[in-house]
Amino acid sequence: MAHRKATGSVKNVGGSQPKYLGTKLFAGEEAKAGSVIIRQRGSRIVAGKNTSMGKDHTIFALKAGKIKFSHLRKKSFDDKVVVKKVVNVVTV
């Protein structure tokens, strides 16, 4: 018999903080100038008219207006056609 209590390794401890990624404003919603539309890792969704992309790939509005999503067919460097989602701010 053991004279000391066995101690195992601890599981399910720690972990990273949530990053709160995703779409913050959806199609048809009003956006103010400077408001964040999408937080993402990588450029899965591309910035369109009246929007810009930050250095962490966050898309934000440059002007006030309504959010509109569309698709864009881009040719890749190896001649493959890639369909990207584009977010635009339509001014009223």
4: in domain: no
Give the residues across from 90 on adjacent strands: 66
Residue 62's nearest CA partner among 82, 43, 37, 85 is: 37
Residue 49's nearest CA partner among 13, 88, 91, 84 is: 88
Over residues 12-16, mean pLDDT: 84
Distance, CA of 69 to chain centre: 14
| Tokens representing residue 56 in the block | 């962490």
Domain that holds residue 56: 22-90
Query: DSSP of 28-54, one letter per residue?
Result: T-EE-TT-EEEE-SSSSEEE-TTEEE-
Q: What percent of the chain has pLDDT over 90?
A: 78
Domain count across the chain: 1
Give pTM, 2 decimals: 0.81
| Tokens representing residue 68 in the block | 């509109």
pLDDT for position 9: 76
CATH number at residue 55: 2.40.50.100
Whether residue 1 is predicted with pLDDT greater than 70 in this model: the reply is no
